[in-house]
Structure 1
Amino acid sequence: MSRLHGSKDFWLGALRSEGPAFRAAVDEAPLDTPVPSCPDWTLLELVHHLGSVYAWVRETVTRGVTDAPAARRSDPTGRPDGAAALDWWQQEFDALVTLLDGLDPEMPAWNWAPQAKKVGFWPRRMAHETAVHRWDAQTAIVGVEPIETKLAVDGIGEVLDTWLPAGRGRGPKPAYGVVHLVASDTEQEWYVRLRGEGMALLDTDTILDSDDHHTRVVATGTASDLLLSLYGRVGFEVLGVTGDAALLDSLRVG
């Protein structure tokens, strides 16, 4: 497996691109338009969700400590409607980008993953949060564009090195076997061994020899389709799948 080594500049660059694309999508339709990829949500609810995430992250990273903050408020009470909601979202987005740009990634900051509690976690998380919800917003206007390839590759990595090890998967458990993901539009592939309640991200397939009889599945598609399928935005049928397709459900996080 080869990894994409992201950086603060890479993730902030993606955030600066995906944010305006999200705004452009929600500008094209009434805010009460349903979002097909997020059942029971409208564009307004998507705007409220993303803006509130930005506000909560800003509060979290400026605390300067690694203990868990108060839970993010999920109800929309007090959030603006109509054009004011878009202005509010824009203010939250601009403030987030400015803040993350000015912070040292090595500063202490809480995160929910089993990794270093540093500010550097959040530019990556916010880039992917915004990219996937940009895609969601575009499903409401029938003008969907894929996730940019390098960003999607890193997003797959985030699912495997962050979401699943943190216990945030939504697939059935326990599962046993090996999943091989192949991004057809770039030289990236991932091997994941499912071990009941746990999983291991493998660097190579060298141990998967003829003496290993674990059930296996190979899923091939563009990096964007792979990522969106892991998030449950598209079905695994958009991929080329051989082997036990049921194993793929264990990698879902959205």
Structure 2
Amino acid sequence: MSLPPEHAAFYLACLQRDAARLAEVGRLGLPAVVPSCPEWTVESLLRHVAQVYLHKIEILRLGARPEPWPPAGLDERDALELFEETRTAIVVALTEAGTDRPTWTFSPSDQTSGFWFRRMALETVVHRVDAELAHDVVTPVDRELALDGIDELLTLMLGGPWWEEGDTKHPVDATIRITSAGRSWTTRLDATSATVVPTAEGDVDAEVFGDPDELLLWLWGRRDLNMDQSAGDDAAVLEFRARVAECTT
């Protein structure tokens, strides 16, 4: 799978912008507790994102997951200094790799470096919001990036081949539709599968709708859903969200 150059450029621009904002918010105070990840402070959030960047830099270099991981000594580094260093390094690594280099990813259908352009842009924007929540200074997510993030979460993370053993605490048996900005994703769930199609066709048990920013952050557990934004079986919507949480933690 080849990522078009204009998409790669878009993801890099989003990554750079949101990483810069994350650093800016980090400087407002490292001890602040992150309400969306209450076991973290802003300092530990920055360390986490820096480590994610370092891990993907090594994947791009090796074409495989680095072992052992993580490297020693990261906890002794200044969190802001480490983050500033790695946010520059991940952009360099992606740019040098390009979009067609064979490498490990967790996508069954895309084993190229292009996969990591989108994944790193979306990783960064969600954690940028985490830091902003800690300081009550939340800013919007880019509309197109948010739509892309909804698509990634539903079609890849939820719709991947992860459920065949029925390893879920939420074996919801329902069809749920997510609709935003003229796009829809319809998910058929049972205990051993999650089938996602990017259409608005067919009957559903419930539909959730709203702005891309709102729905992306709800799906990632960063904001509550106003139930006026859903129609149909409310219990199925709650179980659907819990099933999403299982494949994003």
TM-score > 0.5 by shorter chain: yes
Runs of 4+ more than 6 Å apart? none
Shift of 1:101: 1.4
Residue in 1 that maps onto 2:143: 149
Residue correspondences, number: 235
Among residues 102, 125, 130, which one is paired with 2:124 in the alignment? 130
Q: Residue 238 and residue 155 in structure 1: after superposition, are their counterparts in 2 closer, same or farther (change >3 A)?
A: farther
Whether 1:218 aligns to 2:207 is yes
Bigger relative contact order (CA 8 A; separation at least 6): 1
Residue in 1 that maps onto 2:49: 50
Please list the CA deviations of residues 55-110 of structure 1 after superposition, one character each: whole Å capped at 9, or x if unmatched.
1110011113xx54436439x954245xx321111111101101101222111110
Whether 1:189 aligns to 2:174 is no
Distance 1:203 1:158 in 2: 11
Whether 1:105 aligns to 2:94 is no
Structure with the larger helix share: 2
TM-score of the pair, normalised by structure 1: 0.84
Residue in 2 that maps onto 1:236: 225
Whether 1:25 aligns to 2:25 is yes
Distance 2:73 2:97 in 1: 30
Whether 1:121 aligns to 2:115 is yes
Distance 1:178 1:200 in 2: 9
Whether 1:37 aligns to 2:31 is no
Distance 1:166 1:109 in 2: 20
Q: Residue 36 and residue 203 in structure 1: after superposition, are their counterparts in 2 closer, same or farther (change >3 A)?
A: closer
User: Contact 2:50–2:87 at 8 Å: present in 1 too?
Assistant: yes
Among residues 154, 157, 173, which one is paired with 1:160 in the alignment? 154
Q: Residue 16 and residue 38 in structure 1: after superposition, are their counterparts in 2 closer, same or farther (change >3 A)?
A: same
Q: Which runs of 5+ in 2 are unaligned?
A: none
TM-score of the pair, normalised by structure 2: 0.85
Alignment-mate amino acid for residue 144 of structure 2: K
Distance 2:198 2:36 in 1: 33
Q: Which runs of 5+ in 1 are unaligned?
A: 210-214
Q: Percent identity?
A: 29
Alignment-mate amino acid for residue 218 of structure 2: S
- State the superposition RMSD in angstroms: 2.4
Name the SS for the 1:200 alignment partner.
strand
Residue in 1 that maps onto 2:244: 251
Distance 2:87 2:75 in 1: 15
Residue in 1 that maps onto 2:7: 7
